[in-house]
Amino acid sequence: MRTSKVTMGAATGLTLALALAACGDNSADADEPMPEETMQEETETMEEDEQDTDSDMDEDMDMEEDDDEMDSEMDEEEDSESDDLSAVQPESTGDPFADARTAAVHMPMTGETFATGFTEALDIEGDPQSEAAQLRGELTALFQEHVYLAGIAVATAYEAGPDSDEFELATETVDENSVALADKVGELAGDDARESFLRNWREHIDYFVNYAVAAEAGDQEGMDQAVADLTEYADGVGMFFDRITDGELPAEAVTESINGHIETLAAAVDSLAAGDPDAFTNLKAAADHMVMGSAVMAEGLANATDLEGDPNDDASELRSALTANLNEHVYVAGIAVFVGYTDEDGLESEAFEAAAGVVDDNAVELADAIGELAGEDQREPFLELWRDHIGYFVDYAGAVAEGDDDAAESALMDLDAYRYDAGEFFEDISGGELPAEDIEDGLSMHVQSLAGAIDSMNEALVQN
């Protein structure tokens, strides 16, 4: 594997200044000798005063010791608070693809949280937590994820080879998504439908792999055969969903959606095979297509199974849209880091610039959504916050690749501070319907899991 060209500056340290107070000397004037009796009385009085003074000094010293202990405890508390990064400590398994998926799995929950808060704050019509809304949100995430995981697997095959350990890990994660989709079909249509769907879904993934291998080799005949296999699959899956939904999902509608999936993902694979920077934009287009297809699937399945709620009401639409935006953020950020770690020019490469551009496209889409919900005056503050946190992740990725522990810790500190800023922002714009603490907790999981995925990518793609 290539060694990353990422370079990062070292983090600056924090310094503390302590002020010391100096005590002045006191002097006494000499008096004339006193009579003996007077001297005895004075001596006794002085001895009593000295005892009182000693007692006072002991009390003062005890108080000073108590103050010192309190100051020490306060300093220790402040230090522990400033140094405590447990809320953003990366969680890594060493498998970059599984860890990326773990990071993405948090996003549908966050999408639900946001949708519920905004629905309450803005009196949006519908129920974002209905069974139908939940189905649409889950299908949105799973079908969109399928595209991004497939794209990452193809990029890994091109970079490390189709026989590499890295590609094997990537395909395992693709299959985890397939199983999750099959489980959802099984919940709605039964175990037999689950097994049938999973078998055919896995076959269509194999056809895409065949297409990717043929595309890199310039094998037009192999590409044509893969497309023919995929087209046949599209016809078959259309009939499958028509049958299990008693016509609520017409075969023609499903086949048309799957054919669009084939065309858009094949275009992305062509771009990846050619080393075209537009590959990342094309991959996003393929994922966006699946988000639209998920709406069709959710409506048919909800109607066929009499799920409570409406998958197309405004609140369900909002939940699906936010889920798609947030889920996509994780995957396009992961792809950008992948490119930065594997391209010989690292963060200075044209490929990384293109991938980072797609990350920002996603950020702008999220900002537009926030602006529509909370007012245009909130769009720019959110976009600035969001872009900042993306920059901190880039800082972290560069630091771990260079083995710069100080810079990595500094990036995590920035991400930790971002959690609180974002929490206050969303609590404010939602009139308290999105409590800051809930946002902070959600972002804690986001940082831990995505930073963990970066750690795993660094280990697999840079250090090996």
Q: Where are the alpha helices (DSSP H) in 161-250?
A: 165-189, 191-217, 220-244
- All residues at 6 or more sequence positions from 204 whose CB lies less than 8 Å from its CB, including other chains: 230, 233, 237
Nearest CA to 321 among 162, 448, 144? 144
What tokens were used for 127?
């129920």
- pLDDT score at 350: 93
What tokens were used for 238?
């259309």
What tokens were used for 202?
């896995």
State the Cα–Cα distance between residues 279 and 260, nearest whole angstrom.
17
- pLDDT score at 58: 52
Biggest CA-to-CA distance, the chain: 127
Nearest CA to 1 among 265, 344, 360? 344
- pLDDT score at 80: 39
- pLDDT score at 463: 75
What tokens were used for 237?
């899956």
- pLDDT score at 87: 95
- pLDDT score at 83: 63
Spatial contact of 144 and 290, defined as CB atoms under 8 Å apart: yes
User: For 81, phi and psi rounded to 5 degrees?
Assistant: -65, -40
- pLDDT score at 249: 97
Q: How many CA atoms lie within 13 A of 281 on its CB side?
A: 8
With b for 16 or more beta-carbon neighbours within 10 A and e for fewer, the 47-80 pattern comes to eeeeeeeeeeeeeeeeeeeeeeeeeeeeeeeeee
Ordered per-residue pLDDT tens for the chain, 464 residues? 333 333 333 232 222 222 222 233 333 333 334 444 444 444 444 444 545 545 554 545 454 444 555 554 444 444 434 468 999 999 999 999 999 999 999 999 999 999 999 999 999 999 999 999 999 999 999 999 999 999 999 999 999 999 999 999 999 999 999 999 999 999 999 999 999 999 999 999 999 999 999 999 999 999 999 999 999 999 999 999 999 999 999 999 999 999 999 999 999 999 999 999 999 999 999 999 999 999 999 999 999 999 999 999 999 999 999 999 999 999 999 999 999 999 989 888 999 999 999 999 999 999 999 999 999 999 999 999 999 999 999 999 999 999 999 999 999 999 999 999 999 999 999 999 999 999 999 999 999 999 999 999 999 888 76
